[in-house]
Amino acid sequence: MDRINQHTAPVYEAMLELRKRRVVPFDVPGHKRGRGNPELVDFLGEKCVGVDVNSMKMLDNLSHPISVIKEAEELTADAFGAQHAFFMVHGTTSAVQAMVLSTVRAGEEILLPRNVHKSVINALVLCGGIPVYVPVRVNHQIGIATGMALSDVERAIRQHPQARPSLSIIRLTMALPLDLKGIVELAHQAGMKVLVDEAHGTHLYFGDNLPISGMAAGADLAAVSMHKSGGSLTQSSIMLCGKDVDAEYVQQIINLTQTTSASYLLISSLDLSRRNLALHGRESFEKVSSMAEYARAEINEIGGFYAYGRELIDGDSVFDFDVTKLSVFTQGIGMTGIEVYDMLRDEYDIQIEFGDIGNILAYISIGDRIRDIERLVGALEDIADRSAAADRKELYCGEFIAPELVMSPREAFYAQGEKLPLEKTVGRVAGEMLMCYPPGIPILTPGERITQEIPDYIEYAREKGCSLQGTQDPECREMRILTEI
């Protein structure tokens, strides 16, 4: 079968044509190509504000695409090896939620690793699905959850024979993927749909010697953050469908929550980024891999830091390694990841993706340069030298906490509750979510019972500078807990 011509960009080309026509706008947005807001034009530029337009005939409609958006989505599906692709303008959060909402109904089960993104839990609050958590393995050396082992997934499937569950798989941000193809085969044999969160996985579709992508592994649905490693504007993502997926039904689900006033800045950035990746992606991500490997080697020469790589592959919960991810364990220099994260930003003007209790993640992608890598390595070397002269304290190595699930997230979220200080919540059931962000993996979700280790971990994370979010209390010092349990 002949591939589609990937040199075209239908939405982008339609917007160029619109600009040539100099259409007089008596529609929204109200800034009227920027004339009503000169400061916005000064800030963003006339070209940008001039194409911030609303849906019209020549530009198609994201909620019901029939022309240029439809063509652009078909090009995207072809480039990513999918049966269908949807442009998403509410980020990968909305794509993840649409995946769950299109496969799970109230009272149905979905198998999950506990370390899913908060968007999955929020989708379960909306649809009333029941999470069944598959155990995740933990690497105690670096204090992170690695992933689900194939044997654990198989056991979970056997233990739920009466259910019609789906299986949601997280694409770990720390570069440690699981046996995706093996898990997909197991799930499909059991009649289950497989949903893959590939928020950090755009490059997997365009790189050699990288972990397998969701579509290549045979997944049913995948949510992909084009803006993370694909080059599109922040908040723009795509949702991919495999074979035997009712794409028309998925479109209806997407339309339940996605805006009817989609930004053409985001849509056109997806169109252009897809073209760039289809034509140049393999070359680009080969350079990204080389830069990340170079950085990994240089950081490991410093001493104290551990930039881990393929040596962590065990063929089980760590089935492969994403070499583009520069993940570094920091506690060898006596500092937590979040402390190194803060120092890099505040003292060296280097902004990395995130830091947690034990690690930092520097996101390397198509816009990075080797001199930026060298600046990061130099800053880490300086931080290590400074830490050697300081008194090192014994650090807590972040462990993965798996609380007991007492009731479904939806039941708990809408149940009657009361607010209590965190230290007084032990033994009670959470009615809301609490997490460190980034990356947004909940420490607690609605419906989970609180044990003493949870407030202890939260206070330690707070003391070290992690950003706590999720509770009604902006300071995250109180939590809504259920009164009926």
Q: Which amino acid is at 479?
A: M
Task: Output DSSP code: residue 3.
Answer: P
Give me the residue spans of the domains in the chain: 61-278, 281-388, 409-482
Mean pLDDT of 202-210: 93
Question: What is the reported pLDDT for 142?
Answer: 84
* Token pair for 415: 């149940």
Tens digit of each residue's pLDDT (9 = 90 or more) over 129-156:
999 999 888 888 887 888 888 999 999 9
- CATH number for the segment(s) 281-388: 3.90.1150.10
Question: What is the reported pLDDT for 169?
Answer: 75
CB 227 within 8 A of CB 240: no
Question: What is the reported pLDDT for 449?
Answer: 96
Report helix, strand or coil for 11: helix
The topology under which CATH files domain 61-278 is Aspartate Aminotransferase; domain 2 (3.40.640)
Please name the residues in contact with 186: beta carbons below 8 A apart, sequence gap of 6 or more: 150, 153, 154, 157
pLDDT band at 1 (very low <50, low <70, confident <90, very high): very low
- The two beta strands, 417-421 and 478-482, are antiparallel
Rounded alpha-carbon distances, angstroms, from residue 173 to 4, 138, 191, 433, 438? 32, 15, 28, 20, 11
Average pLDDT of every residue of the chain:
92
Q: Smallest Cα–Cα separation from 439: which of 362, 317, 355?
A: 355
Q: Smallest Cα–Cα separation from 204: which of 179, 237, 182, 171?
A: 171
Q: Environment class of residue 413 by beta-carbon count within 10 Å: exposed (0-12), middle (13-18) or buried (19+)? A: buried
Task: Output DSSP code: residue 471.
Answer: S
Tens digit of each residue's pLDDT (9 = 90 or more) over 435-482:
988 778 889 999 999 999 999 989 988 988 889 999 999 999 999 999
Whether the predicted pLDDT of 186 surpasses 80: yes
CA 252, CA 261: separation in Å to the nearest integer? 16
17-31 residues labelled b (16+ CB within 10 A) or e (exposed): ebeeeeeeeeeebee
CA 474, 360, 202, 145 torsion: positive or negative?
negative
CB 38 within 8 A of CB 298: no
Please name the residues in contact with 47: beta carbons below 8 A apart, sequence gap of 6 or more: none
CB 228 within 8 A of CB 345: no
Rounded alpha-carbon distances, angstroms, from residue 324 to 202, 203, 306, 362, 367? 11, 9, 16, 10, 13
Whether the predicted pLDDT of 398 surpasses 70: no
Tens digit of each residue's pLDDT (9 = 90 or more) over 416-435:
999 999 999 999 999 999 99
Rounded alpha-carbon distances, angstroms, from residue 341 to 30, 68, 104, 117, 361? 41, 42, 38, 21, 9
Mean pLDDT of 234-245: 97
Tens digit of each residue's pLDDT (9 = 90 or more) over 264-285:
999 999 999 999 999 999 999 9
What percent of the chain is predicted at pLDDT more than 70?
A: 95
Give the phi and the psi of residue 273 in degrees, each rounded to 5: -70, -40
Question: What is the reported pLDDT for 138?
Answer: 82
Q: Smallest Cα–Cα separation from 99: which of 187, 223, 6, 191?
A: 223
Question: What is the reported pLDDT for 171?
Answer: 57
Q: Smallest Cα–Cα separation from 362: which of 435, 460, 312, 288?
A: 288
Please name the residues in contact with 31: beta carbons below 8 A apart, sequence gap of 6 or more: 37, 40, 49, 52
Q: Smallest Cα–Cα separation from 250: which of 100, 124, 121?
A: 100
The separation between CA 228 and the C-alpha centre of its own chain, rounded to angstroms, equals 9
Architecture of domain 409-482: Alpha-Beta Complex (3.90)
Which residue stretches of 193-244 are H helix? 226-229
